[in-house]
Amino acid sequence: MRLSRLCVSTFIYLFIHLIRALLVYKNKEREKSSAEARCIETAFYEIMASRLCLLLLILCSLHVAQCGLRVYNVYARGIRPDPGNNNGDGYVRMSCGPASKTTNVVFNTPDPNWHEELHYSRASPGNYLELRVYDKDVIFDDLLGICATNIQKGTRKHYCNLPTGGYLYFTYTLS
């Protein structure tokens, strides 16, 4: 399982503060006798290490417990762009909440497959997921259709008829 950015940032923050606290503590302890200082220093290390690990586990588990959305396996069949252009240059703009992803353009095909994924770690059931299919043109890109759904927990396969012709297919997982 990958560590989230929050967990890594929290770890770095706590590690820096732990090092600072240890340096301050060591400077103060140099004035005491060496045997007493070593005993206190060992106890301090043990307490700080156990609290740091516990705090990291709590913070990371809270973040991991949040829902996560993954949109993948996005492809279209039979898309029809402009009447003068038999094959489209399609791409998809996926969005859910503040997360969005625009795929690469797949040139000159009515049946594009996009191999990009959208990930949104703060998604929850009922959030609005929208996929917009475009045909890339020189001046203005043409909107071929919008496919939208309110997401639910689990893995769902979804498809939509596009108003200009063809279908958009995608799969999402909300955990």
What pLDDT digit, counting tens, does each position of 35-59 carry? 565 666 665 665 665 565 555 556 5
Q: Taking the model in full, what pTM does it have?
A: 0.63
Tell me how far apart the alpha carbons of residues 17 and 158 are, in angstroms, rounded to a whole number.
48
Q: Provide the pLDDT confidence category of residue 88 given band limits of 50, 70 and 90.
A: confident
What is the secondary structure of 69-127 as a DSSP string?
EEEEEEEEES----TT-SS--EEEEEEETTEEEEPPPB-S-SS-EE---EEETT--TT-
Q: State percent of the chain over pLDDT 90.
A: 53
pLDDT at position 10 over 70: no
Tell me how far apart the alpha carbons of residues 48 and 15 are, in angstroms, rounded to a whole number.
10
Average pLDDT over residues 14-30: 61
- Choose between 171 and 25: higher pLDDT: 171
Q: Provide the pLDDT confidence category of residue 64 given band limits of 50, 70 and 90.
A: very low
Dihedral of CA 10/15/20/24: which sign? Answer: positive
Average pLDDT over residues 47-76: 68
pLDDT in tens, 109-155: 999 999 999 999 999 999 999 999 999 988 899 999 999 999 999 99
Q: Provide the pLDDT confidence category of residue 104 given band limits of 50, 70 and 90.
A: very high
Q: What letter represents residue 47's amino acid?
A: I
